[in-house]
Amino acid sequence: MARSQDLEVQEKKELVSKEEKTVPSRYYMPNTDIYETDDALTVVMEIPGVQKKDMDIHIENDVLRVEGRVDFGNYEGMEPLYTEYNVGHFARAFTLSSKIDQQQITAKVEDGVLTLTLKKAREAMPRRITVS
Amino acid sequence: MAVLFTDPIDWISQFQQALDNFRTSGWLGSSPSGSGGYPPLNVFRKGDDLVLIAELPGIRKSDLQIQVKGNTVRITGRKGIEYGDNAALHRRERSAGGFDRAISLPVELDADNVKAEYRDGILALYLPRAERDKPRTIQIG
């Protein structure tokens, strides 16, 4: 696929959630790529401004929840003059198929991008059957 | 308008409100303020100086170039996304490509003393005002 064109601005989407937060600050939906290989499902999320220690990832009832908190302390003493985007925490949840081995999930944060590798459960891996 | 944050709980929502308010600010005026749309930028004032912040997740430091001249800042770079072989895509929301953005600020900058920081996908440029552009106090004789 040819994709050498210029990057376009993607407006940040505010998170619409069934549950409300107790603090009335805004949350945004991180842009996410999800792809599958033979042995794993990989979830890649853009969470600019979130440090490793402010990431919260957990799985409960086959729902993967990711929350990343931005450190607003960095903005102390700054007076906005001209703005094109808003800043907020990130949160998003996905329902997983039960084919995931919940014990084998790895997470990595680099340059504002979270990469989650969810290994498939053994029984879900494709098996090659040789004809004897 | 100074944004004063007194209540720590309210702090964030007030700050977010302020960021929204300045989206319609005419601070850059009607002058041609630059070219390119990506990345979106926020400009803040900190003391005498300006701070320009952009969200650039997933870009390697080595793929990012910054130029400052006079009152213009130019940010160019390229963002690459790799999925690896044999990957079946389920969801694709991130995008890749090149970008070239220039923005002209209404103050003269001290290009030699600009500091750039790229951390956790956020680019912050500390732009000191040129000495000759700083306001001077005039004594009334």
Task: Please report whether residue A89 resides in a domain.
Answer: yes
How far away is chain B from the Cα of A29, in angstroms, using its nearest Cα?
Answer: 11
Residues 6+ apart with CB under 8 A from A75: A87, B15, B44
pLDDT digits (tens, 9 = 90+) for B82-131: 888 888 999 999 999 999 998 888 888 999 999 999 999 999 999 999 88
Task: Please report whether residue A20 resides in a domain.
Answer: no
pLDDT-derived band at A101 (thresholds 50, 70, 90) equals confident
Contact A38, A118 (CB under 8 A): no
Task: Please report whether residue A130 resides in a domain.
Answer: no
Q: Which two tokens stand for residue A79?
A: 């007076």
SS3 for chain B, per residue?
A: CCCCCCCHHHHHHHHHHHHHHHHHCCCCCCCCCEECCCCCEEEEEECCEEEEEEECCCCCHHHEEEEEECCEEEEEEEECCCCCCCCEEEEECCCCEEEEEEEECCCCECHHHCEEEEECCEEEEEECECHHHCCCCCCCC
Range of the domain at A80: 25-123
Residue B29 reports pLDDT greater than 60: no
Lowest-confidence segment of A7-11, A53-57, B132-136 by average pLDDT: B132-136
Task: Please report whether residue A3 resides in a domain.
Answer: no
pLDDT digits (tens, 9 = 90+) for A28-76: 999 999 999 988 999 999 999 999 999 999 888 889 999 999 999 889 8
Q: Residue B31: what pLDDT?
A: 46
Task: Please report whether residue A83 resides in a domain.
Answer: yes
Q: Residue A88: what pLDDT?
A: 93
pLDDT-derived band at B13 (thresholds 50, 70, 90) equals confident
Which CATH number characterizes residue A74's domain?
2.60.40.790
pTM score, whole prediction = 0.83
List of domains in chain B: 33-81+96-134 (2.60.40.790)
> Residues A67, A71, A72, A73: what is their CA dihedral angle, to the nearest 10 degrees?
160
Residue A51 DSSP class: E
Helices (H), chain A: none
Task: Please report whether residue A4 resides in a domain.
Answer: no
Chain B CB within 8 Å of residue A60 CB: no
Residue B3 reports pLDDT greater than 90: no
Task: Please report whether residue A18 resides in a domain.
Answer: no
Chain A CB within 8 Å of residue B117 CB: no
Task: Please report whether residue A53 resides in a domain.
Answer: yes
How far away is chain A from the Cα of B65, in angstroms, using its nearest Cα?
Answer: 15
Q: Residue A2: what pLDDT?
A: 44
Instruction: State which amino acid sits at residue B73.
Output: V
If you average pLDDT over residues A98-121, what whole number do you get? 90
What was the ipTM of the complex prediction?
A: 0.82
How many CB atoms are located within 10 Å of the residue A38 CB?
A: 10
What is the number of domains present in chain A?
Answer: 1
CA A61 to chain centre: 18
pLDDT-derived band at A100 (thresholds 50, 70, 90) equals confident
Chain A CB within 8 Å of residue B48 CB: no
CA A62 to chain centre: 16
Contact B75, B39 (CB under 8 A): yes
